[in-house]
Structure 1
Amino acid sequence: MTPASDGSSGFPAGTASLTLHRPHRGGRSLRAWDAADEQLVAEALKRLAPGQRVAVVDDSFGALALGLANFLPDVIADSAALAEGLALNARANRLPVPAVRSWEQELEAVARGSASSASGTARYDAVILKVPRQLEYLGFLLRWCNQVLRPGGWILAGGMIKHLPDQAVRVYQELVVTEAVLPAKKKARLVLCQPGTQTLEHWDRLWRGYPVGELPAPVQGLPAVFARDRLDIGSRELLPFIAEAVTALPPGAPVLDLACGNGLLGLVALSGRPDLAMGFADISSQAIISARVNVSAAGLDRGQCRFYHADGAPPQSGPFRMILLNPPFHEGGAVGDHIALRLFAEAAGCLTGDGELLMVGNRHLGYHRSLRSFFTQVQQLHASPRFVVFRCTGPRQPAGRS
C-alpha cells in the first residue's frame, strides 16, 4: 500500500495514509470517511491474520476496502455509488481497483423470492460491515453473515452513534453472539460478534409490502428499500398525476422511474400504459431486485422493461420522453438537496427535447427555484403542507447532447 503523496491529511490505514474523495462535485465538501471507518480498519488490522478471507460490506467510498487492501477483501455493497468512488480512490492511491458485488449478484435467488437457495457455503473468516440506518437491513446483513462465515469467524460492525438504528441492540442479541462492545471513540461505536444460527432462509420479513389500488399484486421490497412496508406520503401525492400524464405519451414512449425504490411510480405508469418502454433506476441493488419482482408479479413485463443499478440516471440510456422522480434528500448521514440537484441535472440531460420531468419533493427544500436551472418551464401541479408536485419541461440539456 502506498501512502498518499499529495501532502493532505488522509485516511489512516495502518502505517499508510490514503487520499479519499467523494466522486460527485456536490459532495466534494463532505469528507469521504468518518470516525467509524477509521476505527473499523484499525481494529480489523489488529485482529486479521495473513491469509484470512475477508468480506467488506457497505463501504461508502472505499475507506474500508482500500484500508484493508493487503487482505484482498471481497467487496459487497447495496449502493451503486461505491464502484465509482472505490475506483477513483484506488487509482488516487495507486492501488488495484477491487471488484464490487451487489446484492443482485450476491443473492440472485432472492430476486426469485427464494432465500433458501441463497444460502451459499461458508467462505469468510471475517466480515467488516458498516452498520446501516435501517433496522431490518441490519437484520438482513447479520443473517447473511451467519450464512457465509466459517466456524470461528467473526463480524466487526461499526457506525457513527447518531446514525445507528434504534433497537440495534435487540437485533444483535437476537441474531449474533456479541463478544465485545468497544469503547466509543470520536462518537463512533464498534461491536465485535460471533455468528449466530439464524440465516436468511425462511426469514418471514425478507419481503414486506402493501397493496396499491391500481395494481393487481402488492408492491414489495427487500430490507434496504425505502418505505418498503408502507406507501410514503410523497409518492401518494404524486400518483394521481402519473395516470393522466402518461395518457398523452405516444405509443411505446420511453419512460424512466428514477430513484425508483420498489418501482411504484413506474408500475402505476405501466398499469395505465403497458406499451411504455419503462426503465427503473436506483442506487440500491435491493431496490432493483424489488422493482424487477414487482413488475413480474403485476404481469406488466412484456420484455420492454429495463432495470438499472446506477447512481443516478443510467449512463448510455435514453433519451426518455418522461422521467418520474421522488428524489431522496439524504445520503448516509448527510441531509440536503445535493442529491436532488444532481438528479435534476441528469434528468434534463437524458430527456428528449419535448420530454418532461414529473416529480414530487419536500416543500421546505425549495425545489421550485433550483429546477429552473435545469428546465425552462416549471409548473406546480399540487402543494400540501409537506410536499409539492412539479411538471418540468424544456430541459436545458448540456452541450453536446441532442
Structure 2
Amino acid sequence: MVKHRTPAPASTMLRSPLGNWQLHRYPVRSNDPLQAWDAADELLHAQLATLQQTQLPQHPLLVNDSFGALVVAVATQSWCSYTDSYVSHQAQLHNLEHNNLPTSGKQLAGLDTLPADRDLVLMKLPKSQSLLAFQLAKLSAELPSGTPIIVAAKSKLFTPAVRALFQNYCTDVSVSLIQRKCRILQGQLSPNLAEEVASTNTWQVPERGLTLHHLPGVFARNQLDIGARLLLDNLPAAGAEQVIDLGCGNGVLGLCYAKHSPASAVTWVDESYLAVASCARNVEANLPPSDGYRCVVDDCLTQQADNSVDLVLCNPPFHQEHAITEHIARQMFQDAKRVLRHGGELRLVANRHLPYYHFLKRLFRNVKTVASNTKFMVLSCTL
C-alpha cells in the first residue's frame, strides 16, 4: 500500500532587507503547505531596498499583490493596492493587522479609476494574459507618462508575447538575468490609447439562447467550458426557491437555471471583481428584470446566511493564480453545506482525476454521480 505523506507546513516568516513579517495565505489554514509569497516577491523587496538608499517612493501602486507580501513592505507609505481578487484584498488586510501595521492605504479593483499621484508601480504578473493587457492599458491611460514600473515573475512567464505587451505600454524596457528562476522587468509607462481599457469579449451560446460578455481575465473568456457544458446538460429540475451560482465566472450556470426556472431567485458569487461585473452585464442582457437576481463579490459564501439556500451550482477551480490547489473547492463545498437548507442540493462538475468524492461523502448524506464522460463527472450532493 502506498502511503501518502502529509506535506510539511510552509514557512510563514518573510525575511528581506526591508524587514521581517509573518505572512499567511488567505483564508488562513493551520499547517498550510503553500507559502504566502514567492521568490518574485523577494526580488521586488530587493528592488525596494535599492531604492531606499536614495529615496523610497511615497505613493506606490501595488498590482496583483496576492497575499500582502508587497503591501507590508510599504505599509507606512501612502500605498494603493490594485487587484481583481477580493481574497487578495482580505489577505492584505489580515497580514497588515497580524503584523501590527496600519491599514490606511487604498484598495482598488476591477474597473475602479487609479489615483494619478502614483510615483512607482510594483507588479506581479497575473496568470491571464488578457488581464495583463487590460491592466497595462489601464496603467498607461490613468497614470502619468514616465511613471516607473517594476515587474517580477517566474522567468518562464516572460514569454515573447508578454514582453511585447510591455513594449506597447512602456519605454526603456529592460529584463534582468534569471535570479532564483525569476526575472525583473523595468520600464516607464507611456501613453497607448489605441486600445480600449475595458476590452470586452462577446460570444454566443445559441443552443442556450445566450449572449455572453466577458471582461479580461474571466474564466472561459473565449468559449463555453466543456465541464460547464456537461453540468448544463444535467441541471436539477426547476423549482428551487433560492439558488446560488458559486464561483460564477461569466454566470452561465445560473443564467441557464434562471431561464429553466423563472420563479427562482438566483445569486451569482465570485471572488473576481471583473467576473462579477461581467456576470451582472450577462444577467441584464439575457434575463428579464427581477429583484430576485443579485451578483456578489465574496470569498466563497462567507457573507451568505446559514440554512438560506435550496440549490448551489458550482464548477470549482483547482488553481489559485499559478498554484494548483484543492483548498478553494473544499471551502466551496463546506460553505455550500452550511448555507443549504435541509433537503437542499449542491450540484457540481469536476475533473474525474480530482479526489473530491470522499471529501464530499464526509460532508453530505447522499453523494451520487449524475453524469460523466472521459474527463468530467457531475455530482449531486444532498443533506
Does TM, scored on the shorter chain, surpass 0.5?
yes
Cα RMSD after superposing both structures: 2.3
Q: Can you give the 5+ residue segments of structure 1 that lack an aligned partner in the other structure?
A: 1-7, 108-119, 395-402
- Percent identity, please: 31
Q: Tell me the equivalent position of 2:101.
A: 95
Instruction: Tell me which amino acid in the other structure corresponds to 1:133.
Output: K
Deviation per residue, 1:281-330 (Å, 9 max, x gap): 11111100000011011133412112221121141446111000000001
Report the Cα distance in structure 2 between the residues aligned to 1:344 and 1:351, rounded to whole angstroms. 11
For the Cα contact (< 8 Å) 1:140–1:200, is it kept in 2?
A: no
- One-letter amino acid matched to 1:342: Q
The structure-2 alpha-carbon separation of the partners of 1:171 and 1:201, relative to structure 1 and needing over 3 Å to count, comes to closer
Offset from partner CA, 1:256-299 (integer Å, 9 cap, x none): 00000011111111112222211111111110000001101113
Q: CA deviation at 1:343?
A: 1.1
Give the match for residue 37 of structure 1: 41
2:120 corresponds to? 126
User: After the TM superposition, which residues 153-164 of structure 1 pair with which residues of structure 2 at under 5 Å, given as runs?
Assistant: 153-163=147-157
Structure 1 residues 27-106: aligned runs within 5 Å: 28-47=32-51, 49-50=55-56, 52-98=58-104, 101-104=107-110, 106=112
Distance 1:336 1:22, change over 3 A: closer
Once the two structures are TM-superposed, the CA of residue 157 in structure 1 deviates from its matched residue by 1.3
1:170 aligns with 2:137: no
Q: 1:151 to 1:336 in 2, by over 3 A?
A: closer
Tell me which residue corresponds to 1:222.
Answer: 215
Q: 2:275 & 2:106 partners in 1: Cα distance?
A: 17
What is the identity, as a one-letter code, of the residue corresponding to 2:98? A
Deviation of 1:88 after TM superposition, in Å, equals 2.0
Q: CA deviation at 1:102?
A: 4.2
1:217, distance to aligned residue in structure 2 (A): 4.5
Gaps of 5+ in 2: 1-10
| More moved, 222-231 vs 151-160 | 151-160
Is residue 2:364 matched to residue 1:360?
A: no
Q: CA shift at 1:171, angstroms? A: 1.5
Residue deviations 1:181-239 (CA, integer Å, cap 9, x gap): 12221111111121132248635x81113211355542111111111111111101111
Displacement after TM superposition at 1:246 (Å): 4.0
Residues 1:13 and 1:106: Cα distance change in structure 2 (over 3 Å): farther
TM-score, structure 2 as length reference: 0.89
Provide the rounded CA distance (Å) in 1 between the counterparts of 2:64 and 2:199: 18
Give the distance between the partners of 1:100 and 1:174, measured in 2 at CA: 28
Q: C-alpha displacement at 1:357, in angstroms?
A: 0.5
State the distance in 1 between where 2:12 and 2:344 align: 45
CA drift at 1:170: 2.1
Q: Please report how far the alpha carbon of residue 372 of structure 1 lies from its aligned counterpart in structure 2 after TM superposition.
A: 0.5
| 1:270 maps to which of 236, 240, 258 | 258
Equivalent runs, 1:312-351 vs 2, <5 Å: 312-317=300-305, 319-351=308-340
- Cα displacement (A) at 1:140: 0.7
User: 1:351-375 CA deviation, whole Å, 9 max, x = no partner?
Assistant: 1111101110010013222211111
Equivalence for 2:23: 20
TM-score (norm 1): 0.85
Query: Aligned partners of 1:32, 1:199: CA distance in 2, in Å?
Result: 36
- SS of 1:146's partner is helix
Residue 114 of structure 1 corresponds to which residue in structure 2?
A: none
CA drift at 1:98: 4.5
Which of 188, 192, 199 is the matching residue for 1:206? 199
1:46 corresponds to which letter in structure 2? T
In the TM superposition, 1:289-300 aligns within 5 A as: 289-300=277-288
1-structure distance, mates of 2:287, 2:277: 16
Partner of 2:174: 180
User: Number of paired residues?
Assistant: 369
Report the Cα offset of residue 165 of structure 1. Answer: 6.0
Equivalent position amino acid for 2:263 in 1: D
* SS in structure 2 of the partner of residue 183 of structure 1: coil
CA contact (8 A) 2:167 2:173 kept: no
SS in 1 for 2:269: strand
Indicate the residue corresponding to 2:290 in structure 1.
Answer: 302
Match of 2:226 in 1: 233
Matched AA of 1:76:
Y
